[in-house]
Structure 1
Amino acid sequence: MGVELRNNEAALDEMAEDGDFTDSDLVYHIRDILCSVTSGSPAALPENKDYERLISVVSHDGGHGADEEAFLVTTLEALSRAVSYIDHDLHNLLLAAIFGMNLWTQRPQVMDAVIHFIISLAASSGKFVDECLAMLTKQFFPPKSFQLPRGLTKKDQVLSRVHSALNDIADMLPLSPARLVPIVLAATPQYRFHDINTLSVVMYVENMLKLESGALGEVVRIPMLTGVVELLLDLDVEIGWDDIEDDSSKGIFEMELEAVHESTDDDLNDDSEIARKLSTKVSGSNSFAEKLDSLLVLTFEHLESCEVGGRLIEVFETLLESFKRTVLTAYKSKFAQFVIFYACSLDPGNCGVTFALMLENTFFCSTNPPLLRMSAVSYLASYLSRAKFLSASVIANTLERLVDWCCKYVKTQNDKVNPEAHRVFYSGCQAIMYLLCFRMRSMMDVPLLKSWLLRLPLESVLNNKLSPLQVCLPSIVNEFLRQSKAAGLFMTLDKFDFDDYLESELSKEFGGRERLDMFFPFDPCLLKKSDRYIRPKFIFWSMVHPTYDDDEDSSDEDIGDAVADENVDGMDYAILQQHYDLDEFDSALNKMSITPKNSLHSTFGGAIKQPMRMPSRIRPSTSPESL
C-alpha cells in the first residue's frame, strides 16, 4: 500500500528540526535510516518517518530552490557513501525514486551528485549494475519539451556525464559493456508511434554511435552498428511506395526526365536542381521518411569521422556483415542501402571494391537461394551503374565476370526459355544490359575499353536458346539494343526486331510475384537531406550520354576533339588517357582481379550537355508498379 509523500520543503524542515547536520553526521544518519527499514513499504512502518522523508527528498524532480538543491546534493553524496547499506528489496522505493530521476531537468551540481551515486552503487554490488546502466541509458532521450539549438548546452551537460559514467563503470566492472548492449538495444524508441519526435530517435542513434566510437567501442561496436542498420531498415519498411510517388504510371527515369525538362537551361548543368525536384516526391510530412532522412545524415557524418580517424575499414566490415543479413535480404529496401553506398564512396579502393566483390560472390554462389542471388546482382548492377567514384577496372572486371558466368551457364543448359527455372541467369543478363545502358558510351569513347568491350561474347550470352532478350525487362532490353546498334556492338544486330521486346507473358513471369527483375536499389535517393551527401558521388540518368546521341560514330582520332571542353567520366580526357596503360589494364583483366586503390583512377559519368532521351518504361526500385 503506497503512502502520500510530503513535499520537499516540509521534508527538509522535519529532517533539520533537530539541528544542522555535518556531512559525516548526515552519512551516519542515513545509514541508520537504511538499517532501520525492515520492509520495502514505509506504510508498514509508521514509526519510520525518516525513511519516508528521505524518499521525498530524492523524489522531487527539478525546480529546486537553492537550499533544496544544496540539501539534495548533500543527501545524494551521503547516500553514495552508504551504498553498502542499500538492500535491493528493502529499499526498492528509494531506488525507484533515484533511478527515476531525469538529468535533463536538473542543474549541473545535482547531475554530478546523481552520477556519483549511480557509479558508487554499480560498483558496490553486481545486483545493481543492470539498473544503473538502464538509468544512464534512459538519459539518451531528451524530454518532449527539449529543442535545439536552444538546448544544446544542456544536451552536452547531460550526455557528457552519462558517457563518462558508463566508461567509469566499465573501468571498475570490465563485464559491464557486454551487459550494456542489450539494455541499449532494448531502449529502441517506439518510432511506429507518431508522437515520438524525430529528435528523440536521432539522439538515441547519436548515443549508439558515440558508444561505438568511444572507449567501449571494442566491445559494443558490432551490436551498436548492427542496431543502427536494423533501425534504418525498420523505418525504411514503414515508408510506403505511395509516399514516394503519387503517379504509379511513371517510373523513376521519367521523373528524372521531367525534372530536366522543367529546369531552365542554367539548371541543366546542375544536378542539385534535378535532385531537389526529385526529392519532393517524398513528402516532409511523412514522419517515417523524416526520421530515416535525419538518421541517414547522422550515420553519413559518423562514417566521415571514422574515415578521418582511420577506422573506416573496421567499421565498414561490420556494416557489410549487417547489410548482408538485413538489407540485402529485405524486400526492395528503398533508402537504407545508401549507408553502404556512402561508406564505399569514402574509400573506393578498399570499401568500394569489397562491396562489389561481396555482391559478386553472393550471386555466383550456387548454394545461395535464388532470390538472394537475384537481389545481389540487382544491387551489383545498380551500384556499378550509379557510383561515380568507381574505377574503370572495377567496372570492367565485374562486367567480364558476369558475362563469363552467363556464357558458361548457357553452355550447360539444354532447356529452352523458362523465366522461373532460369531466373538467376536472366537476372545476370539483365544486370549486364542495365550496366551497359549507363556505361556503354563511356567505354566506347576510350579506344582501349572499346576494343575490350567488342571482344566480350555478349551476343553468345544474349542471343541463344534461353532467349534472355524476350524475358528481361523490355524497357532495359530496348534501351540496350538501341545503344548497341548505334555503337556497332553486335555484328548481327540487324536481325533484332525491337517490336519483339515489348512486355510479354514471358517477361511478366520473370522474377515471380517479387518482380526482382524490376528492382534497382541505387536509384536516386529521394530523401531531401540525405541527397546532399549522395548527389556528388552519384550518376543520374540525365548525366549519361547514350551512344545513339552521336550523329555518327566517333573515330579514335577525333575522340580528343569531342571531349576537349568536357570531362569524360568526371576527368579531363588527357588525364584519362594517361591513366589507361594497355599492359596494366590487360593484365588486370587476364588475372580477373580488381585494381586496388590509386590505380586507374578514372571513373565513369560526365557532365550534362543537354537533355537526353531516356527509356520511357524503366521502372526500377522506386516505382510502385515494380511491386
Structure 2
Amino acid sequence: MVDPSSVNGLVSSIPITAETDDFNDATSVEKLSSMKLMMRSYVHGALREKDQGNPIRYNELISLLSKSPSQAEALSPQKLYVWILVLSQSVSQLDKSCASLVDAILHVDWAFRDRSFSDAYINFLENLVSAHSIYVVSVLNTLVSGLRYRSQLPRFAVVSRTNAYERNHAALRSVLRLIPTSINSLFVSIVRFLPHRRFNSAEQAAYIKNLFEITQYLPVMRKQILSLVVDHMAQMDAHIQIELDDLEEEVEFDAYNMRFDEDYISDESDDEDDVNGDDSSVASADSEFSSEREGEDKTQQIAQVKSMVRRLDAMMTLTFRYLAKIAIDQPDICSELYHTLVDTFDRTILKTLKSRYTQFLLFYLCSLNVTIYSDHFVDHLVAHITDPLRPGITRIAAAAYISSYIARAKFLEPSRIQRAITMLCSWSEEYIEQQEMKTDHPDTTKHDVFYAVMQAIMYIFCFRWRDLILEDELEVEDEIVSDGVTESSKKWCRGLRNLPRLIMSRFNPLKVCSPAVVRQFAKLAHHTHFMYVYPLLKKNKDVVISGINADVSPMGSKNLLVTVQTFFPFDPYKLEGSKSFIDGIYFEWISEDDDDESDESESEESEEEDVTTSLMAMSISPSPNSFLQ
C-alpha cells in the first residue's frame, strides 16, 4: 500500500504511456497495471479513512482532481486518465457521502481531450449513474453544460468544439439509455443552461443547435425543446422592440455572416457588445442592466440593439433550417411541429403585441402545407376572434394577425383569401345585426373587436383586392348595387357583398379604424370601382369620437384598439441572415397608378396624400424602408 501521508508520491510515478490503450512493450503494460492497483488501493483506503473520521487523504484526492490544468501542480493528461479509470472501477463505493469527490470528477474538463480519455470518462459516467441514481441530475447538468459555446478552447484541446459537442451528446444518449426516467431531469437542466439574452450570437446559436440535435435521438422531447426555443426567441424579439421604441428612430440592421459551419465563430462586433462569461454573469445581468443603461448614450444603445438582432437572426436561421430539414427528412412529424408552434403562439406570442419576427416560423411552416396548416391557422385565428369568452386583447390581436397573414402570405390561392374575407365579413354582419339598434354612436371600448375585424377586412382588401375578384361570372349574378355605393364593373367575391353595409353602419368604422388603412382603402375601393367613400370621409372630419388615436381610453385604461392600429405582425422581414426563408413566400405591396384619379377634388386628394408614409408610421418594423413593400 502506498504511503498514506500524501497522494503526490503516488501520482508522480504513473508512466507517461498510461494515456493510451496501446503499449509497445510489456514493461509499460506491467507498470500501468501496477499503478492501477496502487491507485485503487489508495482510493479504497481514503474512503475507508473518511468513514472513520479521517478525511485527509480523501480531501487530498479531491484537491488533486480539482486543480485547473493551468496550475503547475495539476495532473498531466496521462495521469488524470488513469485516475478516471480507477475511479470508474470504484463507483460502487461513491455513495452519497462521497458527493464532493464525485463533484470534483464531474468538473474535469474532459470533452476536448483525446479519444481514449473521453471514452474512459463516459464509461465512468455510465457506471456512476448505474450504481447511484442520486447522481443522475449532476451528471446531466455536466453534460448539458458541455453543449454551451466556449469562446476559448483549453490549451490541451485536441479536438474542435463540434467534436466536443458530439461527445457530450454521446454521453447523454448513454445515460438516458441506462436511466430512461431521467428525461424530465434533462429538460430541467436544458432550461437551466439556456443562454441569457445578453450572451453573444455564438453562445445562442451553439446551444440552440445542440438542443435541436437532442431532438434527433430524443424525439419525445421535440415539443418541449421547440417550445422552449421559440419562447426564448419571442422574449428577445419583444425586448428588441422595446429598445427600439425607446430609441424612437429607425435602426438599419447590419448584414453579417454567422458562420454556423465553422465551429460557431462569433462576430467580433457581437462579442464587444455582449456579456462573455460563465453563468455567474447571468445573475447580475438584470440587476445591473437598469443602472448601466442610464449612462449609455444613444450610440451604445443602438449598438446593443444591433447585437441583439444578430442573436435573434442566428437563432431564427437555425430554427428555419431545423423546420426545413424535418419537412424533407421526416414529413410525417411536421404536423406535430405545427401544433407545437400554434400552442406556443397562443401562449407566448399572440398577446405580447411586441413580437416582430418569431411568428414568421409559423408563417413559414404554413407555407409547407397550405391545405392543412394554413387553413387551420386561419380557422384558429377566426375562432379566437369570434369567441366572446376570450380576453379582448386576444381577440383583437388575432384580428391583427389574420389581416397581416392573409395580406402577406404569397402562397395563398384566391379561394382561400376569399374564404377568409367571407368569415370575417359574416361575423361582422352578425355583430351589427345584434348590436346596431342598441348603438347611438361609435364606442371604441365596447366594440373594439368589431373595429379590429373591420380594419382587418380593409387591410386585406388593400393588399389582395385582385384575389377578391371572381373569375367565374356565373358566381356574381346577384352582385350588389346599393344606393350608388357599389359599382359592379368588377365581379367581386360573395364575401364582400355586405361590406358596404358594414362600412356605412352606425358604427362608422371609417372614423374609428387606422387613418392610414382607411385612406388606402378609400383610394383602392374607388380605383377598383368597389365603393366610393370620400363623401363619408369628408363628413367624418366633423365627427368627434372619444378614445380614437389616444393611448388611453376615457376611463384611463389602455386602449387596445389604438394598439392594434399600429400592429402589423407580418411586416416586411428584415433579418438579413434568415430572410431567405421568407422572401419567396412573401407578398410585397403592389402600388397602383394614380393617373385615373386626377378628376378628384383637392379635398379628396388631400385625404389620399402621403398614404405610404402614413402606413409606414403604423409599422412595428425596426427599420421599415417602406411599409407597403
Normalising to structure 1: TM-score of the pair? 0.74
- % of aligned pairs identical? 23
Report the alpha carbon displacement of residue 96 of structure 1 after superposing the two structures with TM. Answer: 2.0
Report the alpha carbon displacement of residue 485 of structure 1 after superposing the two structures with TM. Answer: 1.0
Matches within 5 A, 1:197-208: 197-208=200-211
Matches within 5 A, 1:472-483: 472-483=513-524
Matches within 5 A, 1:105-184: 105-145=112-152, 154-184=160-190
Report the alpha carbon displacement of residue 88 of structure 1 after superposing the two structures with TM. Answer: 2.6
Q: Is the 8 A contact 2:243 2:305 kept in 1?
A: no
Distance 2:131 2:236 in 1: 40
Q: Return closer, same or farther for 1:493/1:69 CA change in 2, 3 Å cut-off.
A: closer
Q: Return closer, same or farther for 1:285/1:321 CA change in 2, 3 Å cut-off.
A: closer
Matches within 5 A, 1:394-413: 394-413=416-435
Q: Return closer, same or farther for 1:486/1:240 CA change in 2, 3 Å cut-off.
A: closer
Q: Is the 8 A contact 2:547 2:559 kept in 1?
A: no
Q: Secondary structure at the match of 1:617?
A: helix
Structure 2: 5+ residue stretches without partners: 17-27, 253-300, 476-489, 599-608, 625-629
Q: Is the 8 A contact 2:367 2:585 kept in 1?
A: yes
Q: Is the 8 A contact 1:139 1:159 kept in 2?
A: yes
Give the letter aligned to residue 536 of structure 2. F
Q: Is the 8 A contact 1:30 1:79 kept in 2?
A: yes
Residue 598 of structure 1 aligns with which residue?
none
Q: Is the 8 A contact 2:571 2:619 kept in 1?
A: yes
Q: How many residues in Structure 1 have an aligned counterpart in Structure 2?
A: 518
Distance 1:244 1:527 in 2: 18
Q: Return closer, same or farther for 1:103/1:361 CA change in 2, 3 Å cut-off.
A: farther
Q: Is the 8 A contact 2:409 2:586 kept in 1?
A: yes
Report the alpha carbon displacement of residue 135 of structure 1 after superposing the two structures with TM. Answer: 0.6
Q: Is the 8 A contact 1:61 1:101 kept in 2?
A: no
Q: Is the 8 A contact 2:512 2:548 kept in 1?
A: yes
Residue 540 of structure 2 aligns with which residue?
500
Report the alpha carbon displacement of residue 247 of structure 1 after superposing the two structures with TM. Answer: 6.2
Residue 326 of structure 2 aligns with which residue?
306
Matches within 5 A, 1:44-55: 45-46=55-56, 48=57, 52-53=60-61, 55=63
Q: Return closer, same or farther for 1:9/1:441 CA change in 2, 3 Å cut-off.
A: farther
Give the letter aligned to residue 618 of structure 2. P
Q: Is the 8 A contact 2:317 2:577 kept in 1?
A: yes
Q: Is the 8 A contact 1:363 1:374 kept in 2?
A: yes
Residue 533 of structure 1 aligns with which residue?
581
Distance 2:491 2:104 in 1: 76
Report the alpha carbon displacement of residue 499 of structure 1 after superposing the two structures with TM. Answer: 7.0
Q: Is the 8 A contact 2:404 2:569 kept in 1?
A: yes
Report the alpha carbon displacement of residue 517 of structure 1 after superposing the two structures with TM. Answer: 2.3
1:443 is aligned, of 445, 454, 468, to 468
Distance 1:130 1:236 in 2: 32
Q: Return closer, same or farther for 1:328/1:34 CA change in 2, 3 Å cut-off.
A: farther
- CA deviations on 1:493-538 (whole Å, 9 max, x unpaired) are 4643357369975532598444122211110122221222222211
Q: Is the 8 A contact 1:170 1:177 kept in 2?
A: yes
Distance 1:428 1:625 in 2: 27
Give the letter aligned to residue 162 of structure 2. D
Q: Secondary structure at the match of 2:577?
A: helix
Report the alpha carbon displacement of residue 53 of structure 1 after superposing the two structures with TM. Answer: 4.3
Matches within 5 A, 1:75-474: 75-89=83-97, 91-145=98-152, 154-192=160-198, 196-212=199-215, 214-218=216-220, 220-240=221-241, 243=244, 248=249, 286-309=306-329, 310=331, 311-413=333-435, 414-415=438-439, 416-444=441-469, 446=471, 451-453=491-493, 456-474=497-515
Distance 1:136 1:378 in 2: 43
Q: Secondary structure at the match of 1:488?
A: coil
Distance 1:31 1:325 in 2: 57
Distance 2:538 2:623 in 1: 23
Residue 273 of structure 1 aligns with which residue?
none
1:617 aligns with 2:605: no
Q: Secondary structure at the match of 2:612?
A: coil
RMSD: 3.8
Structure 1: 5+ residue stretches without partners: 256-280, 553-611
Q: Is the 8 A contact 1:344 1:351 kept in 2?
A: yes
| Mean CA deviation greater in 432-441 or 504-513 | 504-513
Residue 573 of structure 1 aligns with which residue?
none
Report the alpha carbon displacement of residue 461 of structure 1 after superposing the two structures with TM. Answer: 1.3
Q: Secondary structure at the match of 2:76?
A: helix
Q: Return closer, same or farther for 1:245/1:527 CA change in 2, 3 Å cut-off.
A: farther
Residue 43 of structure 2 aligns with which residue?
33
Report the alpha carbon displacement of residue 95 of structure 1 after superposing the two structures with TM. Answer: 1.6
- CA deviations on 1:204-223 (whole Å, 9 max, x unpaired) are 111111112x22112x1221
Report the alpha carbon displacement of residue 337 of structure 1 after superposing the two structures with TM. Answer: 1.3
Q: Secondary structure at the match of 2:148?
A: coil
Normalising to structure 2: TM-score of the pair? 0.74
Q: Is the 8 A contact 1:483 1:547 kept in 2?
A: no
Q: Is the 8 A contact 1:332 1:621 kept in 2?
A: no
Q: Is the 8 A contact 1:482 1:548 kept in 2?
A: no
Give the letter aligned to residue 420 of structure 1. T
- CA deviations on 1:2-44 (whole Å, 9 max, x unpaired) are xxx99x9866216689x96544862674265245425779995
Distance 1:62 1:445 in 2: 75
Distance 1:501 1:476 in 2: 16
Residue 484 of structure 2 aligns with which residue?
none
Report the alpha carbon displacement of residue 316 of structure 1 after superposing the two structures with TM. Answer: 1.4
Report the alpha carbon displacement of residue 126 of structure 1 after superposing the two structures with TM. Answer: 1.0
Matches within 5 A, 1:559-578: none
Report the alpha carbon displacement of residue 173 of structure 1 after superposing the two structures with TM. Answer: 1.4
Give the letter aligned to residue 77 of structure 1. L
Distance 2:116 2:414 in 1: 60
1:69 aligns with 2:69: no
Report the alpha carbon displacement of residue 347 of structure 1 after superposing the two structures with TM. Answer: 2.5
Give the letter aligned to residue 187 of structure 2. V
Report the alpha carbon displacement of residue 240 of structure 1 after superposing the two structures with TM. Answer: 3.8
Q: Is the 8 A contact 1:236 1:292 kept in 2?
A: yes
- CA deviations on 1:146-173 (whole Å, 9 max, x unpaired) are 59xxx99612311222112212222221
Distance 1:478 1:317 in 2: 37
Distance 1:39 1:463 in 2: 92
Q: Return closer, same or farther for 1:317/1:549 CA change in 2, 3 Å cut-off.
A: farther
Q: Return closer, same or farther for 1:72/1:420 CA change in 2, 3 Å cut-off.
A: same
Distance 2:443 2:424 in 1: 20
Distance 1:351 1:452 in 2: 27
Distance 1:153 1:446 in 2: 63
Q: Secondary structure at the match of 1:319?
A: helix
Distance 1:236 1:61 in 2: 40
Report the alpha carbon displacement of residue 476 of structure 1 after superposing the two structures with TM. Answer: 0.5
